[in-house]
Structure 1
């Protein structure tokens, strides 16, 4: 065997070994939800538990387990909170699923009030639990009609993402995003004007590499700035996203140099500040990457829902459009912004 062949073999074997170990660890530390049967009809309550016992509901929390971005995790936690309120159940994190319980750090930093609504408990008796399996599509509302009459003490919803505002329409989720005094002071320091503040969210980075999403287009971003100038001419424009250098290069043209355009540079670990900023100051928001969940929350938390605009995903090559029900993902009061 040549040196090149030997090195290739060692490299391939190393990759295989790493993936094998990861698979073993994932198997070891993930609760076996598949061991709990799925029910297909509502059955008499007396067969399952006493009337006075609390009823619980949880998700398999695939985005939290996988360490997905903040927007994806927020959708999961608020979807479960909304379902729990609708069904009269208590939301919980499964104590026997450490791959979820040990990955709550991002949510604890962002929405501790929401996390406090959850219990952490173990499913001590699997005969008292049932699983409902949802579609793997990202962006659709799916509440099984049998959930309202389900009598099992523990209900587990096995699905992906839960990216629909319809899960938590019954919640005032803005109440969960109250900044601490220290955070509020930092946000206040960012603002250059006290009124007529407009905001643009863009997304590049991972969206350019995953062969699924379409990142923000430079032309669309420029036209978004022009739209805000024409319709909100008296205020400042704040631009949020994950590649400020790209925006700076785009703004080099003198037509876009202005003291009223501010390119925000918020580290990912402090992304919560952008959501607080939108909640307190953004009179209008344009979402330039139509499948961005973080951009979605910037819009949803902004001050005036009638002034939230988004790019039409069906005018892009974004593959998420094939698993999205637009009416479930975008609130009807928001507006498509076409150029």
Structure 2
């Protein structure tokens, strides 16, 4: 961990951003991995400021599962220095903005105003490296079924609680059962589900088509599905009978 004196005396150029530090792990991963990708485009060093207890929790949770992400950052215990102005960038959570628009800025430190950065395009081409940032968990989960030579255990992650409260379409038991019959893995709309798909062994991912099942979020203009989902992932949706699953964009 560094202090402000080391930061101010360095001749390197830096990049940092506001963070949605009170959000969950999937959001943290999007933010931090994207900042690394943006920093590389701009030839800058990514910086993480521990502004308060929530930022510390963000740092610790990410480091537990993706320590290689945190290794990419210079860590400073404190707030962003008062003399660093905020640069407006990435105003909408899930719509990509080309970082090259920032190349003209010559300031030693750029601090971005955006949060969430939910687009794979910020770290496109980095998947092999990102997989190397994972760590096998030390925590033991007793009582869970384990795959063996004759049985393969498939774990399904889905998100319902806050989605239902917000009026979003959430996966129900019928959809999940039918989807699992067709595919080996299924990721939900949540950012945690997105990352489960991204780091999956064969990167063969199916997801519920937002254009059918998540219209509310699209209507706000904050999501471009072509920025959010990699092009090799396959959308799923129900047909008009609400029972048959349609695969792909047909």
Query: Into which bin does the TM-score normalised by the smaller protein fall?
Result: 0.7 to 0.9
Q: TM-score, normalised by structure 2?
A: 0.77
- Please state how far the C-alpha of 1:137 moved relative to its aligned partner: 2.3
Could you tell me which of 172, 175, 200 is aligned with 1:302?
A: 200
Runs of 4+ in 1 over 6 A off after TM superposition: none
Distance 2:192 2:111 in 1: 26
Is contact 1:140-1:324 (8 Å) kept? yes
Compared CA separation, residues 123 and 220, structure 1 to 2 (3 A)? closer
Q: Following TM superposition, by how much is the alpha carbon of 1:94 offset from its aligned partner in structure 2, in angstroms?
A: 2.6
Structure-1 separation of matches of 2:197 and 2:191: 10
Q: How far did 1:297 drift?
A: 0.5
Mapped contact 2:41–2:99 kept (Cα < 8 A): no
- Aligned residue runs from structure 1 range 283-322, under 5 A: 284-287=184-187, 289=188, 291-305=189-203, 307-322=204-219
| Pairing 1:1-339 to 2, within 5 Å after superposition | 53-61=11-19, 63-64=20-21, 67-94=22-49, 97-98=51-52, 101-103=55-57, 104-121=59-76, 124=81, 126=83, 129-171=84-126, 172-180=129-137, 182-183=138-139, 190-194=145-149, 198-211=154-167, 213-228=168-183, 284-287=184-187, 289=188, 291-305=189-203, 307-322=204-219, 323-338=222-237, 339=245
**Distance in structure 2 (CA, Å) of the matches to 1:73 and 1:135:** 16
> Cα deviations across residues 11-36 of structure 1 (Å, max 9, x unaligned)?
xxxxxxxxxxxxxxxxxxxxxxxxxx
Cα distance per residue 1:272-308 (max 9 Å; x no partner): xxxxxxxxxxxx4212x3x311110010000112x21
| Partner Cα separation in structure 2 for residue 309 and residue 208 of structure 1 | 21
Consecutive unaligned residues of structure 2, counting only runs of 5 or more, are 1-7, 238-244, 246-250
Larger radius of gyration: 1
- How far apart, in 2, do the equivalents of 1:204 and 1:80 lie? 29
**What TM-score does the superposition give when structure 1 sets the normalisation length?**
0.58
Q: How many residues align?
A: 222
Q: CA deviation at 1:186?
A: 5.3
Indicate the RMSD between aligned Cα atoms, in angstroms.
2.7
The alpha-carbon distance between structure 1 residues 310 and 101, as it changes in their structure 2 partners (threshold 3 A), is closer
Q: Distance in 1 between matches of 2:224 and 2:44?
A: 27
Spell out, residue by residue over 1:200-220, the C-alpha distance to the aligned partner (whole angstroms, 9 max, x if none). 332112222134x33212331
Give, in whole Å, the separation in 2 of the partners of 1:101 and 1:204. Answer: 26
Shift of the 200–186 alpha-carbon distance from structure 1 to 2, 3 Å rule, reads closer
**Conserved in 2, the CA contact under 8 Å of 1:134 and 1:160?**
no
Counterparts of 2:233 and 2:24 in 1: how far apart (Å)? Answer: 23
Return 5+ residue gaps in structure 1 as ranges. Answer: 1-48, 229-283
Contact 1:60–1:159 (Cα < 8 Å) also in 2 = yes
